[in-house]
Amino acid sequence: MKPAIRCTLHSIVLTLLGCALLPSAPAFGQIRIGELNSYKSQPAFLEPYRKGWELALEEINASGGLLGQKVEVISRDDNANPGDAVRIAEELVSRERAVAVFGTFLSNVGLAVTDFAKQRKVLFLAAEPLTDKITWQNGNRYTFRLRPSTYMQASMLVPEAAKLNRKRWALVYPNYEYGQSAAATFKELLKKAQPDVEFVTEQATTLGRIDAGAVAQALIDAKPDAIFNVTFGADLARFVREGQTRGLFKDRAVVSLLTGEPEYLDPLRDEAPEGWIVTGYPWYSIKSAEHDRFLTAYQRKWKEYPRLGSLVGYMSLKSLAEGIRKANSTDTEKLITAMRGLSVDGPLGRFSWRAIDHQATVGAFVGVTGLNQGRGVMKDFRYIDGAAVQPSDAEIRRLRPAEAIQ
């Protein structure tokens, strides 16, 4: 090979390699938003969640996009692993040039991305993780959270639990950040509401691998008057079936986080428990113009009914879009300023993002489980505004780092 030709080929190879290593640039006139979640690990919630934000994306672009540009969501699976989530978030920001990131499901994963947002100074909207630490102890000025926290949902359930006037309580929860946080908050708030209450046993189970028979028997042996349950998904199904087989729930009150959500109630079919006090999403009985519009659009696009995940995905991306519109920019600092105090119209009504702790005031439905034509439903429910169950500003200042409040 002649030297001149060899030199030319060498230059071409170097050029190609250099291009391969460059971050992928957004298409002309496009705003990129990053999204990451545990799709393979938690499909029951996250498949509807994806459909929710895809509907929101379609509506945003159909109305002209943002700042005169189309919006693209770059989505990745975080493998339900905090380390992987941080690596993927970095890829979304550095390589894909996302102007903000949203998503995550498990609380430990959400906390990892919360810290990433602080270190990299990028806006992160935590869509689903419920641990209080995301907006309080580990909160930072770059992180916002959509769903009601464990404190907020426990605050909705505790008044109903106190009305039962049961003294001996047992708890069962998945043994990771969300479950631990929910159990601790419920105990603290119920003790304040009912000082003579006793907690006779706690069953902390491995997420996704509950030994339901052993758990049910341990609860029976403790002889509680009532049970507070935090399990969800496949763990909930196993717990319900084993508990019913062994007579665990007979003459015992059960208060249960999340169990009224279609993602977890529907798979139980006619085995769904009756009379449990729960939080959830009774989409089939909500009567409001806002929800009717969402329900019609969702069913038209996906040919199925929404789940709670559908709402979470939809409201998350809609919130980011409203923040960008208000900021008239994708600059992180301008976005933070715009998001603090931002009001958004959602399927459950108008909600806002509190400036002091970056928590949305989205509420939840509290009701009682029942059966209707062979499937579990929520009945006797009411919607509780998230703003009504958040602690005072003085309490938040005690819990949240001072630099995160400025």
Tell me the DSSP string of 78-108.
Answer: -TT-HHHHHHHHHHHHHTS--S-EEE--SHH
Residues 130-154, mean pLDDT to the nearest whole number: 96
* Summary mean pLDDT of the chain: 93
- Chain CA centroid to CA 137, Å: 18
* pLDDT at residue 28 in the model: 52
DSSP letter at 25?
P
Cβ atoms of residues 307 and 45 within 8 Å = yes
Edge-to-edge strand ranges of the sheet holding 364-372: 198-205, 168-174, 226-229, 253-260, 277-280, 364-372, 375-384
Q: Please give the average per-residue pLDDT across 112-132, as a whole number.
A: 97
Beta partners for residue 124, in sequence order: 101, 143
- Rounded distance, CA 88 to CA 80, Å? 12
Is 60 exceeded by the pLDDT of residue 324? yes
pLDDT at residue number 26? 52
Work out the percent of the chain whose per-residue pLDDT is above 90.
92
- Helix (H) / strand (E) element for 363: namely none
CA-to-CA distance for 377 and 188, rounded, in angstroms? 29
CATH class of 151-286+365-389: alpha beta
The string of pLDDT tens digits covering residues 354-365 is 999 999 999 999
Residue 265 pLDDT grade (very low, low, confident, very high; cuts 50, 70, 90)? very high
* 3 state DSSP class of 403: helix
Mean pLDDT of 13-27: 43
pLDDT above 90: residue 12: no
Gap between the Cα atoms of 88 and 35, Å rounded: 9
From CA 351, how far away is CA 233, in angstroms rounded? 28
Q: What is residue 264's DSSP assignment?
A: H
Residue 1 pLDDT greater than 70, yes or no = no
Mean per-residue pLDDT for 93-119? 97
Q: Which helix (H) or strand (E) holds 146?
A: none
Is the confidence at residue 342, as pLDDT, over 50?
yes
pLDDT of 402: 87
| Count of Cβ atoms closer than 10 Å to residue 31 Cβ | 23
364-372 and 277-280 beta bridge pairing: antiparallel
Write out the CATH class of domain 30-149+287-362.
alpha beta
List beta partners, residue 69.
Answer: 66
Burial of 192 by CB count in 10 Å (0-12 exposed, 13-18 middle, 19+ buried)? exposed
Residue found under tokens 């190879």:
13
Asked if the model's pLDDT at residue 145 lies above 80, the reply is yes
Tell which wins on pLDDT, 255 or 22. 255
pLDDT at 329 over 70: yes
The model's pLDDT over 163-205, given as tens digits with 9 standing for 90+, comes to 999 999 999 999 999 999 999 999 999 999 999 999 999 999 9
User: Is pLDDT above 80 for 242?
Assistant: yes
Compute the distance between CA of residue 213 and CA of residue 234 in angstroms, rounded to an integer. 14
Statement: residue 25 has pLDDT above 90: no
- Cβ atoms 152, 362 nearer than 8 A: no
Other C-beta atoms lying within 10 Å of the C-beta of residue 216:
25
Give pLDDT, residue 364: 97
The CATH 3.40.50.2300 portion of the chain extends over: 30-149+287-362, 151-286+365-389
